[in-house]
Structure 1
Amino acid sequence: AVSEASATTRPASTAPPAARSSSRRLTFTRFPLLRKGSRELTRATSGHFRGSSISAAAPPSRADSPFFSTGAPKASRTSFARGRTEPPASDLSSAREPSAPASVRSGSGEEPGNTSGPASLPQAAHAGKMHQTSSRLLRMTDDERPYTRDFTDLFATLMVSLPLTPHRVRFRMIDYTFTSDEAITNLGSLKFSQSNRMPDPKDSSRVVTTTTTTFSMAKEMARSVCQKFLEAKFIESVEGKTDFTNKSSVWQLTPKGIHILERFCTRNGIQSAHVKAVIESNRNPHLLVILERNTENDKLHHDEQTVEILFRRFIGTTANEIQSDSDSIHEFSKCDVGVKLVKHRPTSSRQYEYTFNGRNAAQWLMDCTTMVDPRESIEIGSLFLQLKLIAPVDARIPEHTFQPVKQVQYYVTPHGERIAGWSLEEVPSSAEAIAAKSRDGMARDSNSNRTNVIIRNPSWRLLYREFLKETMCEENLSFYLEVQEFHRQYRVAISDKGDNKVETIRETLAAAYGLYNAFLAPGSPNELNIDHSLRTQLATRMTRAVGDDAAMLQSLNEVATLFDKAQNSIFKLMSSDSVPKFVKHPKYAPQLRGLDAAAASS
């Protein structure tokens, strides 16, 4: 991993108080993509605001770029805010950059701007700041793909940086599109910035916290990453192209890609007009199965309950008997119905009633869930087979290995029909029995135990997330889980005895500022409902200068303690408010069998 650290200070008599920043950048080896995030604080005299901006700088020249000589990632530059309501001119670059902030909870209203020239670091800004940076390799999975969170963040950042204007294809104009050249050029250097201005609890002046994340890569790597976006079903060609070799090829977001973009914008408070137009278009499904992943290895959870929940979404509450043999890429654009099924009349030699082909099954799984690799659809299809939810029509087809091809037919087994809820008379327990069980459970366990069990169980957590999204408070669970991941990083950082301990601490502190800006800062896009005194403590700590390495470790310890308090506060809120409603909801209660027993024994 490449790393760098620098610190400079402006004399107090001639400059505003030193700003604090910590930053991180990440690269992954197969796609040497550089990602660097910076956090900074600046004194200002204006009122509270929140702003977000994304820009794409001109890629480095061939002479200057180590991509062309060694293949190593090139460090991108960090911008500096000075309490202004828009980025300085030197931070603007060759692509669209939303920059107008607004003091609203959902984020800033942003207008695109076009300038030219690469982003540069003003010398005066550098001299007047204490600046810390940290770098590490972007995490890769065992099967050589980037972790899903980083991959989707990169995709969404790219989409916001693109103008997404109409392009002419075969004598007609298609809205919200971009070319191969635009995407590859912008991937050369992307910068995403968030700003929050808040009152300093101990000062009448104002403090600005800015989070900046920068991605950069070589041109060939950018082309490879775009190909991965295509394979993940985030984008699609409007001309039937299958690769990015032609610079003028025209692409558009898939319904899945639009929903991924919507989630990113919601989390980060982006309200750029051109992005809102895409999100509000009729191509947005507003529905995607958000699959839970193991935070250690990014693999999908394979427990039986989770697979059965996914199967219910896959097969639908009622059979989708659309009579079509279309190969359209928009076959499952709405994701509110199951996979396309063909109905048969059962006979003595053919007991099944509904069949589907492997291609349609794999396509539904990729289009309507957060899978990012086609291999994951094969993996889940194989689990459907192993759990006897489906079976191959042809006995010669392997019974445990799913084949995602049109020529292979599968049928829904009687067990699969029961799991899907088609055979209501055979469902293991009635709604009345479940309700009675829930009432009994209420007397012998607390909602806190239920909440603990739900968070630990990936299948119930998946359902709970869906419920929270419907009730407009998904940010509570998202924050709780992200703090869990932060604490994992924190434990690694403080236990590190090697030469990279300081670097690891910087990286963890940078992640803390990202969490703070997203969930806890006043005016943040997902501002949580926490106690006023705790909010004040957080603001005091997050706006305090960080000096040497020892002070940085102490700061990290204090931040971890405060995050733990905030996490406990949100846990209590979920336990007292959303969890009791969730376990009684008629849509979810039948799928929570065993929850009270697990809570009672926890």
Structure 2
Amino acid sequence: MQSSSSQATSHLLRVTDTDRPFTRDFKDLFSTLMVSLKLETNRSFFAKYEYSFTSEQALSNLSSLKFLQSSRIPDPNDPSRIVITTTATTFSMSRDVALSICQHFVQARFIDPVGGRNSNGGATFVAKGGLYQMTTKGIAVLQRFCARNGITARHVLDIIESPRNSMRLLILERNLATDRLLTDSATVEVIFRRFAGQDGPNIIPGLSLASSSSSLAAARKIPRQPGYPNGVLGVRLAKDQRINGKTFTYVFSGRTAADWLMDCCTTIDEREPYAIGALFVLHRLVVLARDDPDYRPSRGNGDAPFIPTDTALYAITPEGQAVCGWKYLSPTGEVTPPNSGSFDTPREGADSNKARLRYILNDPSLRLLFREFLIASFCEENLSFYLELSEFMDDYAALKATKQLADPSMIRRTFATAYGMYNTFLASGSPCELNIEHSLRRNLAIKITLAMREQSPDEQCLDEVLALFKAVQTYIFHLMASDSVPKFFIVPRYTGILQQHDFESVR
């Protein structure tokens, strides 16, 4: 026997104080659109383009976009019965708004026109006659969305399983309330290590940048796909360049820096890579070796502390090389990171690992590295659930404090969000299923099933569900502290960074 229920939500895009969509909502909207498209092989000027779509198809689907999620949960009180719950999330917008959103997708480097970008790296989304493909960055965003939501549509899996899916995105930390990038000095150094090359400098043999302002444009024409295919290789560097009478060891152009930060990170606005580049300069990780007198900064870019052009050349400073560990380069060019042994600390045991985890969760730079480690260990869902529930509980406390839960529609909306988390992380067979105790999962299933049967769940029902969520969060915290943290501390790539933090004083 089967019974069914449904939840329907209409999604409003949150916007920042600079009038751009919040990153999470923006990526979800993009991924939902890609799932809705056929992604077929199309022709353009006698050439075939796989996994492509037309501008007309994108605009038509965006005007009334719906994303359905279904879950099949055994009834805890009667295992012979299956409870099927369908959640529908809809996006609705005018054609003009849809056109603007698609242009944002192009600017975020999620999609490219099949003919490639122009000589300045720009591109426009045209309303008629355009043919587009996802970039490697866009495919990486789509893959994370599909993994989280359990999407197994064949046309989507085909591109995720194809060689085009090669990008290892750097997931940047953001302020949950404002969506601004977190840019403390430690986080900037973490970003810089990936930017400069975590496995050593990405030196292009024979590349000369100092001879003329156009040499890089000739060396790197904008390809149809982003110039950086995987996010592991750092920015393209020229070795030993003599500029204005001075020799610089590692040199790159402002444009290639902006390209790397846009192609390989979860940046979605061109102002963000410019701001990160400016922070590299501010923290003396790079220095301007040659100015571009013709560059005129756009509004909002201040006095152009970072110049994203071919003419402007930057060099990695000795301080930047020390941050990357390059001052330990062997005569053969092999990179040997400093302090590559295990992280040695006298305090061990469960309490010390819990203290370390609290320290990591409260430090944006370490949280970024810890997430990277968990992705490689195939257990990122633990951190994602912990952080998302913390954010949700803060929002719920604010709703309680302001008496907004007196409105039944607000309770239904809040419960829909809670159910979405349950369906993603906690339901049996969910796409990001957490490894929790059977009794805890069963209690959750009972409470969720009963709540779903109620036409109007009340605040007490919501409190009971969230109390169980909190118990899961505590369980996951202990799991990460006992299993993931000790392993994280002995990874050679991270030990040099971890030794810069005073974990001994943490209690």
TM score, norm. by length of structure 1:
0.74
> Which residue number in structure 2 is paired with residue 328 of structure 1?
222
Q: Is the contact made by 2:196 and 2:234 (CA closer than 8 Å) also made in structure 1?
A: yes
Q: Does 2:478 match 1:572? A: yes
Once the two structures are superposed, residues 512-534 of structure 1 have per-residue CA deviations (whole angstroms, 9 ceiling, x without a partner) of 00000001011111111111111
CA distance in 1, matches of 2:60, 2:432: 31
1:350 to 246, 251, 261: 246
Structure 1 Cα separation of the partners of residues 487 and 505 of structure 2: 18
Q: 1:161 to 1:21 in 2, by over 3 A?
A: closer
Return the letter of the residue paired with 2:195: F
Using a 3 Å threshold, how does the CA distance of structure 1 residues 319 and 393 change in structure 2: closer, same or farther? same
Name the CA distance, whole Å, in 1 between partners of 2:183 and 2:394.
22
SS state at 2:434 partner: coil
Structure with bigger RCO (C-alpha 8 Å, 6+ apart): 1
RMSD: 2.6
Q: Secondary structure at the match of 1:310?
A: helix
Distance 1:266 1:586 in 2: 29
Say whether 1:299 aligns with 2:180.
yes
Is the aligned partner of 1:268 residue 2:149?
A: yes
The Cα of 1:445 is off from its aligned counterpart by: 5.7
User: Cα distance 1:446–1:176, how it changes in 2: closer, same or farther (>3 A)?
Assistant: same
Q: Which runs of structure 2 are paired with 1:493-572 in the superposition (5 Å)?
A: 493-497=399-403, 501-545=407-451, 547=454, 551-572=457-478
- State whether residues 190 and 365 of structure 2, in contact with CA within 8 Å, keep that contact through their aligned partners in structure 1: yes
- For residues 230-281 of structure 1, what are the alpha-carbon distances to aligned partners after superposition, in whole Å with 9 as ceiling and x for unaligned? 0000000012473233412100000100110111111111111111111122
How much does 1:302 deviate? 0.4
Distance 1:346 1:373 in 2: 33
- Is 1:318 the counterpart of 2:224 in the alignment? no
Cα pair 1:209 1:517 within 8 Å, conserved: no
- Please tell me the residue identity of whatever aligns with 2:11: L
Determine if the alignment matches structure 1 residue 244 to structure 2 residue 129. no
**Distance in 2 of aligned mates of 1:413 and 1:363:** 20
How many Å apart are 1:500 and its aligned residue? Answer: 7.1
Quote how far apart the aligned CAs of 1:298 are. 1.0
Report the CA distance between 1:496 and its aligned residue. Answer: 2.2
The alignment partner of 2:106 has SS state of helix
Task: Tell me what 2:90 maps to.
Answer: 214
Task: Name the structure 2 match of 1:107.
Answer: none
Match of 1:338 among 234, 240, 245: 234
Correspondences of 1:114-125 after superposition (within 5 Å):
none
Which of 21, 30, 33 is equivalent to 1:155?
30
Match of 2:286 in 1: 390
In 1: Cα distance, 2:184 partner to 2:247 partner: 29
What are the within-5 Å matches in structure 2 for residues 91-110 of structure 1? none
Q: Is the 8 A contact 2:169 2:266 kept in 1?
A: yes
Higher mean C-alpha deviation, range 146-155 or range 481-490: 481-490
- Distance change in 2, residues 1:297/1:182 (3 Å): same
Distance 1:347 1:583, change over 3 A: same
Task: Give the distance between the partners of 2:387 and 2:504, measured in 1 at CA.
Answer: 19
User: Which secondary structure state, in structure 1, belongs to the residue aligned with residue 493 of structure 2?
Assistant: coil
Q: Tell me the distance in 2 between the aligned counterparts of 1:321 and 1:590.
A: 23
Counterpart of 2:260 in structure 1: which amino acid? W
Q: Does 1:462 align with 2:368?
A: yes
Q: Supply the AA of the counterpart residue of 1:510.
A: A
2:339 aligned residue = 431
**Whole-angstrom CA distance in 2 between matches of 1:275 and 1:268:** 13
> Deviations 1:210-237 (Å, cap 9, x if unpaired)?
2221111111111110000000000000
Correspondence list, 1:363-402, <5 A: 363-394=259-290, 401-402=305-306
Query: Equivalent of 2:158, from 269, 277, 290?
Result: 277
Q: 1:223 aligns with which of 99, 107, 114?
A: 99
2:193 matched to 1:193?
A: no
Q: Structure 1: how far apart are the matches of 2:292 and 2:432?
A: 53
Give me the whole-angstrom Cα distance separating, in 2, the residues matched to 1:375 and 1:367: 14
CA distance in 1, matches of 2:43, 2:179: 39
**Paired residue secondary structure (1:539):** helix
Distance 2:195 2:144 in 1: 22
TM-score by length of 2: 0.87
Cα separation, 2, equivalents of 1:177 and 1:501: 45
For residues 548 and 493 of structure 1, what CA distance do their matches in structure 2 show? 21
**Partner Cα distance (2:370, 2:471) in 1:** 22
Gaps of 5+ in 2: 118-122, 208-215, 294-301
How high is the sequence identity, in percent, across the aligned residues?
44
Q: 2:297 maps to what in 1?
A: none
For structure 1, list consecutive stretches of 5 or more residues without a partner in the other structure: 1-14, 28-137
Q: Summarize the Cα distance change of 1:395–1:492 in structure 2 as closer, same or farther, 3 Å threshold.
A: same
Q: 1:599 to 1:191 in 2, by over 3 A?
A: farther
- 1:133 maps to what in 2? none
Find the aligned partners of 2:397 and 2:7 in 1 and give their Cα distance. 19
